[in-house]
Amino acid sequence: MTGSVIVIGAGIIGSTTALVLQEAGWNVTLCDPNPPGGKEGASYGNGGWISPASIVPMSMPGLWRQVPGLLMDPDGPLTIDWTSLPRLAPWLIRFVLSGATEARVVRTAGLLNWLLHDGPERHLELAKQTGQEHLIVQNGLLYAYPDRQSFESEALAWRLRKENGVFFEEWDEEKLRCNLAALSADYRFAAYVPKGAHCRDTGAYVAGIVDTAVRAGVRVVSRGVRSISNAPRPRVTLEAGGGLDADYVVVAAGIHSRELMRGLGAKIPMTSERGYHVTMASADQPFDIPVMPSTGKMANTPTNMGLRVSGQVELAAIDKAPNWRRVEVLKRHALASYPYLNDTPHHDMTIWMGHRPSTPDGLPVIGRLARHQRIIAAFGHGHVGVGAAPKTAEMVLGAVKGRPAQEASDFLPARFGY
């Protein structure tokens, strides 16, 4: 038995979910005031990594000891807007506690592995289904280090990957130079994850998924949703006035899902981990394996628009203006990591800031609300929304059918009391 579903938000999560539900026979309406895959969503400007290795939680044991140092480093990967601190403190405390013990991070890594392990295959299939094979490339992903010692300093992270079956090769300096001559000689060791894939244009990919969904019968309503109600049946009120009702409502509005949930009395702890990118176009693109240099922790991704360097975690209220100083940090890292960029004087650069919708326990929120069984959460994917999108869509399908996978229970909003 099927019925009607309203999906709120046409980012990577909402668009993939809309397509999967429609293909399964549901009658889907997709609401978003912005163009699918547009700059307003995190899905537009992310690093495009489809990584089975992204199972290591951001919050790890001992983080609390590193936080002061990280925060004092203006060029470091983590910054905080002090004026937003009072609002952020409750989330921050839960975040640090979620990774306070090894047992907790082992659990989180296992759940993320369930979510992400077959992301590359699922995306290759989705790309085929939507005629976008040219956008998803499976060339592996590379984590570069100055030396073996720095790799070993992240022993817990690599152990978690190994124990979860994430295969990686260790590359010495010779192998690294041979495969990635463009990378600075300051990096002399790497871990290569052959199964990893990446997307060459994340915004276009989302737009292409929505095009296919529309051809399959999804109705797109280019309006924002102001609120959701649940009695006698699910109904959304549109920002422009008027409303729509359906048998189920799926909330996939990224960071903005927080306000929509609040209207239903569900205070899901989610904050924006703001991130930035700079994309540098240059005549040559001498490498086609995405790289994450350990210094700086930023994703360096070959895209159709040039080399995209994305990263930085900036904890700040979502209504704060972007701090474009963060992009200067990304740019400096790019120029230091790839000497060839310095020889190409006129880069055509684009810059961007987006909101990672992040929960303190590092897991997305997927499934029915305990008190509103016809409202389904599909948000909070933090750093892994691209990799997790196809599996999330499958989980939402399980939720509307009332037959969720057993493992899906760990992602339910009920863990926050809703």
Ligand X SMILES: Cc1cc2nc3c(=O)[nH]c(=O)nc-3n(C[C@H](O)[C@H](O)[C@H](O)COP(=O)(O)OP(=O)(O)OC[C@H]3O[C@@H](n4cnc5c(N)ncnc54)[C@H](O)[C@@H]3O)c2cc1C
The site for ligand X (CB under 6 A) is made up of 8-14, 31-34, 40-43, 46-49, 224-225, 252-254, 256, 275-277, 299, 310-311, 354, 356-357, 379, 381-387
Q: How far is the CB of 252 from ligand X (least distance, A)?
A: 6
Q: Which is nearer to ligand X, 77 or 404 (CB)?
A: 77
Angstrom distance (rounded) from CA 309 to CA 301: 6
Q: How far is the CB of 246 from ligand X (least distance, A)?
A: 14
Three-state SS at 146: coil
Beta bridge partners of 27: 4
Q: Which is nearer to ligand X, 4 or 15 (CB)?
A: 15
The neighbour count for residue 68, using CB atoms within 10 Å, is 9
Q: How far is the CB of 275 from ligand X (least distance, A)?
A: 3
Q: How far is the CB of 177 from ligand X (least distance, A)?
A: 25
Angstrom distance (rounded) from CA 401 to CA 2: 8
Q: Which is nearer to ligand X, 8 or 180 (CB)?
A: 8
Q: How far is the CB of 243 from ligand X (least distance, A)?
A: 13
Q: Are strands 271-281 and 248-251 parallel, antiparallel or unpaired?
A: unpaired
Q: How far is the CB of 105 from ligand X (least distance, A)?
A: 19
Q: How far is the CB of 321 from ligand X (least distance, A)?
A: 16
- Rounded to the nearest 10 degrees, what angle do helices 102-116 and 385-401 cross at? 80
Q: How far is the CB of 240 from ligand X (least distance, A)?
A: 11
Q: Are strands 4-8 and 27-31 parallel, antiparallel or unpaired?
A: parallel
Q: Which is nearer to ligand X, 75 or 152 (CB)?
A: 75
Q: Which is nearer to ligand X, 42 or 315 (CB)?
A: 42
Q: How far is the CB of 151 from ligand X (least distance, A)?
A: 21
Q: How far is the CB of 41 from ligand X (least distance, A)?
A: 3
SS (H, E, C) the chain: CCCEEEEECCCHHHHHHHHHHHHCCCEEEEECCCCCCCCCCHHHHCCCEECCCCCCCCCCCCHHHHHHHHHHCCCCCEEECHHHHHHHHHHHHHHHHHCCCHHHHHHHHHHHHHHHCCHHHHHHHHHHHCCCHHHEECCCEEEEECCHHHHHCCHHHHHHHHHCCCCCEEECHHHHHHHCCCCCCCCCEEEEECCCEEECCHHHHHHHHHHHHHHHCCEEECCCEEEEECCCCCEEEECCCCEEECCEEEECCHHHHHHHHHCCCCCCCCEEEEEEEEEEECCCCCCCCCEEECCCCEEEEEECCEEEEEEEEEECCCCCCCCCHHHHHHHHHHHHHCHHHHHCCCCEEEEEEEEEEECCCCCCEEEECCCCCCEEEEECECCCHHHHHHHHHHHHHHHHHCCCCHHHHHHCHHHHCC
Q: Which is nearer to ligand X, 39 or 152 (CB)?
A: 39
Q: Which is nearer to ligand X, 179 or 237 (CB)?
A: 237
Q: Which is nearer to ligand X, 200 or 277 (CB)?
A: 277
Q: Which is nearer to ligand X, 187 or 205 (CB)?
A: 205
Q: Is the peptide bond before 413 cis (omega within 30 degrees of 0)?
A: no
Q: Which is nearer to ligand X, 46 or 108 (CB)?
A: 46
Q: How far is the CB of 237 from ligand X (least distance, A)?
A: 10
Q: Which is nearer to ligand X, 160 or 377 (CB)?
A: 377
